[in-house]
């Protein structure tokens, strides 16, 4: 592809790469196909042991906008942080190397940012879940259009964006680089680093534009996906994240009922995921140990407070909450085992039920 020769780099696209040789070409090509041409594409080979780095190098030979940085493996956070310091674009965009994006995404988001002088643009997205090698179902994530010009306006409505899953990933967002650099905002070197990074971004954000248009396709396809693995210490991680959410809202001074209910429901939804994590076939704890952990979770202060305040809207969600409200370990156990079976053998049904919860 020809270099358009523009002096200004409008967007720096940052993409860490690790063990994605079957997917990375499509990710790169979806960025090359963007209608916005004034971009630089910083690809960071995070010490990948497969051919992913070589594939990226081949694309870089034919597109001067692409720069491939090779480094020792240090995880996606370190890869992104290296590229943040090298980026020259007015805005930053973070791409995952096993996904792809619609061709007008960067241009549309750039125009929205420029029109409202936004520090952050948030867009809708798709999750494509493959339940067979050649078959998938698409789940739509669509926020309401909004333009926030003050901290107070954004903080008042942030619960709506959390509810729509808009504030968790980095890939449905365009970030003003000046804001990121001035506030020294980097991805923390922790498991599931996206969420704390986004929390640090929105902590003092003022100007945010939200579009209901969808562009990004997040693919749930790989067998080693986070959705299928047993995650040691998941509960401790979820407790930590809950503390971050509570800390954010305390800092904001936002105490309305809608925000409090969202935080409580978010906690219980993830608690159910922690129960199911224990019934994952790859969990090596004994049945007795698993049930004891479930009992400890049920009797925790956070569970007691959140289950009293959470109000799921769907009948399915209300039913899922009952074993927790009743503090019945055996019911929680059976519910978690059922979720595991559905998740493993009926992925399409699992995604449908989870989406409608």
Residue with tokens 């619960």: 159
Pick the closest to residue 88 from 38, 16, 123, 53 (CA basis): 38
* Nearest Cα to Cα of residue 187 among 43, 18, 16, 21: 16
User: How far is the first Cα of the chain from the last one, in angstroms, to the nearest whole number?
Assistant: 45
Q: Which residues contact 173 (CB under 8 A, 6 or more apart)?
A: 93, 94, 120, 121, 122, 123, 198
What integer pLDDT is reported at residue 7 of this predicted model? 64
Paired residues of 120 in beta bridges: 175, 208
d(CA 322, CA 223): 32
Name the pLDDT band for 355 (thresholds 50, 70, 90). Answer: confident
Torsion of CA 139, 239, 262, 175, to 10 degrees: -60
Interatomic CA distance for residues 63 and 40, integer angstroms:
10
Q: pLDDT at residue 53 above 70?
A: yes
* CB-based burial label for 300 (10 Å; 0-12, 13-18, 19+): middle
Q: Please give the backbone phi and psi of residue 43, each rounded to the nearest 5 degrees, phi first.
A: -105, 130
Q: Which residues face 42 on adjacent strands?
A: 14, 67
pLDDT of residue 223: 44
Whether the CB-CB separation of 116 and 204 falls below 8 Å is answered with: no
pTM across the whole model: 0.93
How many CA within 13 A on the CB side of residue 345? 7
213 three-state secondary structure: strand
Q: Which domains does the chain have, with CATH numbers?
A: 11-220 (3.90.550.10), 234-355 (no CATH)
pLDDT of residue 4: 45
Over range 289-311, report the average pLDDT. 98
CB 41 within 8 A of CB 8: no
The C-alpha atoms of residue 142 and residue 280 are separated, in whole angstroms, by 31
pLDDT tens digits, one per residue of 205-236: 999 999 999 999 999 865 444 446 899 999 99
Q: Which of 302, 304, 282, 278 is nearest to 290 (CA)?
A: 278
- Greatest CA separation found in the chain? 65
Whole-angstrom Cα Rg for the chain: 21
For residue 17, pLDDT over 80 is answered with yes
pLDDT one-digit tens code per residue, 175-216: 999 999 999 999 999 888 999 999 999 999 999 999 999 999
């Amino acid at each position: 592809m020809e270099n358009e020769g523009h002096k200004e780099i409008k967007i720096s696209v940052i993409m860490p790469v690790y063990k994605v040789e079957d997917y990375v070409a499509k990710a790169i090509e979806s960025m090359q196909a963007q209608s916005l041409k004034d971009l630089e594409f910083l690809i960071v080979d995070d010490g990948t042991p497969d051919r992913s780095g070589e594939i990226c190098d081949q694309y870089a030979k034919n597109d001067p906008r692409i720069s491939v940085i090779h480094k020792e493996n240090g995880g996606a956070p370190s890869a992104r942080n290296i590229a943040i310091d090298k980026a020259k674009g007015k805005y930053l965009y973070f791409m995952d190397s096993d996904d792809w994006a619609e061709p007008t995404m960067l241009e549309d988001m750039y125009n929205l940012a420029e029109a409202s002088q936004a520090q952050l643009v948030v867009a809708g997205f798709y999750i494509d879940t493959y339940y067979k090698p050649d078959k998938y179902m698409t789940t739509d994530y669509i926020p309401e259009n909004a333009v926030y010009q003050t901290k107070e306006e954004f903080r008042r409505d942030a619960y709506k964006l959390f509810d729509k899953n808009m504030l968790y990933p980095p890939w449905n967002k365009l970030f003003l680089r000046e804001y990121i650099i001035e506030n020294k905002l980097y991805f923390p070197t922790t498991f599931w680093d996206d969420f704390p990074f986004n929390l640090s971004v929105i902590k003092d954000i003022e100007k945010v534009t939200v579009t209901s248009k969808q562009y990004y396709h997040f693919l749930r396809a790989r067998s080693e996906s986070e959705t299928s693995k047993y995650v040691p210490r998941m509960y401790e991680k979820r407790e930590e994240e809950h503390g971050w959410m509570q800390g954010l809202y305390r800092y904001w001074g936002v105490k309305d009922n809608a925000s409090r209910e969202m935080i409580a429901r978010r906690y219980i939804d993830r608690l159910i995921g922690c129960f199911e994590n224990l019934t994952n076939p790859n969990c090596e704890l004994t049945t007795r140990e698993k049930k004891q952990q479930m009992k400890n979770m049920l009797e925790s202060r956070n569970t007691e407070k959140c289950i009293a305040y959470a109000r799921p809207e769907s009948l399915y969600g209300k039913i899922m909450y009952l074993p927790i409200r009743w503090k019945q370990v055996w019911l929680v156990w059976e519910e978690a085992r059922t979720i595991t079976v559905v998740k493993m053998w009926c992925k399409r049904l699992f995604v449908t039920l989870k989406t409608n919860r």
